[in-house]
Amino acid sequence: MVLGIILGVVLAGIDGGKDFVIDWVKPWGTIFVNLLKLIAIPLIVASLLKGILDLKDISKFAKIGGRSILMYVGTTIVAITIGLIIVNLVKPGEGISEETIVTMTENYAGDEGVTSKLTTAEEQGASGPLSFIENMVPSNVFEALGDNGNMLQVIFFVIFFGLAMLLVPPEKTTTIKHFFDGLNDVVLKMVDIIMLSAPFAVLALMATVIVSSESWEILEALLYYGLTVIAGLIIMIIFYLVIMWLFTKKNPFWFLKNLAPAQLLAFTTSSSAATLPVTIERVEEHIGVDKEVSSFVLPVGATINMDGTSLYQAVAAVFIAQALMVDLTFMDQLTIIFTALMASIGSAAVPGAGMVMLVIVLQAVGKFTPEQIAIGLTLIFAVDRPLDMLRTTVNVTGDATVSMVVAKSLGKLGDPHPHEVDEYLDNLSHEDDAEERNDE
Ligand code: ASP
């Protein structure tokens, strides 16, 4: 990561350096992220199905589901409240001069990044109140499996399929069960293999982020806003560690050390969805959460539990109001809590999604004109990427924390059992040697 930052800084200062990074370095990062996304769906299907089939009775499933959803909603409300308190105390928007607002707006008016977010938000906002549930039920399972954005549809199908399997005589489902058991192990091994290239990919991703970032002057104008979000996110991480320690009595440093590779990936890729395979591997093998719990809690969490995102949305909404001198009442702030909660559930687990849903939060407050919303978005756009990296790290940490607490409450937090990528390789070569000797 450090080498990537150094490479980015050095090359950004050289003529043609940025193009070099985009042409020759960035693709390696993209390939790595694609590899992770490639195995996300097979892993969710195999791991969730195995988790459900391992449940000896169906009522346990309701317990896992109920507890995790409750904790997801609870932690998100805490995150939004932290965001609101800190932004109201620091008031980062009041220091923004009109001049800065004009320069920012001129710089980014019509910028593709901003306009595409506004259009996407408009499309999403146009859907009805029940569309969230409606969209969860796919009409074609292969279409759902073919699109990483349809994770909830896949989860719905697998749960439905798994529960139906429990109701069929066991001897009829042995083959299916063995098939998915095997698939699960193979895909987890693919995670190990992909992670061998992580150091190089992280270097490539970091260098790309650095050469694509804005100039320091622009970042400086938004320094207090950025620092406010960062302070909120740090408080949130401390909150997780306290919760985790209170419920499981595990050492917070041990937890962070074992989760670190997933957090690092969340930071560099800005996508909880791309990070999911690694989160699952870390939480199951290195932290010891039983598959029955992690296989449901983590994929669902990656899609609907975004505490970092909702904290950011709360801070950003109030910051924009402060900068544009829009007065927000207590009721308006309550509206922000409610809509940011809904928005974090509805945000896709991909880079920049939190900003799209921010538009919906701003619209719900009802005090911003469409022009003001566009100006507000352009204002914070320059620092969105670094903040996205940080909030994604918090999102992933939140999912892992909830899975640990839920597992503990059900007696499903066991001992870690890490697997090495090459642990079976020795056996293989020994077997080969033995065969060769036999042949001789
Ligand atoms: N990038 C975030 C994630 O994947 C979502 C967001 O806040 O934009 O978790």
Where residue 121 sits, what CATH number does that domain have?
1.10.3860.10
| Ligand 1 centroid – CA 113 distance (Å) | 15
Atom of ligand 1 nearest to the CA of 391: 7
The predicted pLDDT at position 432 comes to: 58
Q: Is residue 432 part of a domain?
A: no
Return the structure tokens found at 170. Answer: 């066991």
Q: Is residue 409 part of a domain?
A: yes
pLDDT at 433 over 80: no
What pTM does this model have? 0.87
Range of the domain at 142: 2-417
Q: Going by CA atoms, what residue is nearest to atom 7 of ligand 1?
A: 354
More confident: 440 or 90: 90
Q: Is 291 in the pocket of ligand 1 (CB under 6 A)?
A: no
The predicted pLDDT at position 126 comes to: 58
The predicted pLDDT at position 335 comes to: 92
Q: pLDDT for 6-51, tens place per residue? A: 999 999 889 999 999 999 999 999 999 999 989 888 988 988 888 8
Q: pLDDT for 335-379, tens place per residue? A: 999 988 888 777 777 888 888 888 888 988 989 988 888 888 888
Q: Is residue 261 part of a domain?
A: yes
Q: Is residue 236 part of a domain?
A: yes
Q: Going by CA atoms, what residue is nearest to atom 2 of ligand 1?
A: 392
Q: Is residue 425 part of a domain?
A: no
How far apart are alpha carbons 98 and 86 in whole angstroms? Answer: 23
| Ligand 1 centroid – CA 338 distance (Å) | 19
How far apart are alpha carbons 135 and 19 in whole angstroms? Answer: 40
Q: Is residue 84 part of a domain?
A: yes
Structural domains of the chain, count:
1
Alpha helices in 305-383, H assignment, sequence order: 307-323, 330-346, 353-365, 370-381
Query: DSSP class of residue 289?
Result: B
Q: Is residue 429 part of a domain?
A: no
DSSP track, 246-280: HHH---HHHHHHHHHHHHHHHHHH--HHHHHHHHH
Q: pLDDT for 82-113, tens place per residue? A: 999 999 999 998 877 777 777 777 766 667 77
pLDDT at 199 over 80: yes
| Ligand 1 centroid – CA 313 distance (Å) | 11
Q: Which one, of 422, 291, 360, 365, lies nearest residue 132 by Cα?
A: 360
Return the structure tokens found at 293. Answer: 């719990």
Return the structure tokens found at 197. Answer: 């290239």
The predicted pLDDT at position 314 comes to: 94
Q: Which one, of 268, 276, 264, lies nearest residue 349 by Cα?
A: 276
Q: What is the mean pLDDT of the chain?
A: 87
Q: Is the dihedral of CA 26, 264, 344, 355 positive or negative?
A: negative
How far apart are alpha carbons 244 and 252 in whole angstroms? Answer: 7
Q: Is residue 430 part of a domain?
A: no
| Ligand 1 centroid – CA 368 distance (Å) | 24
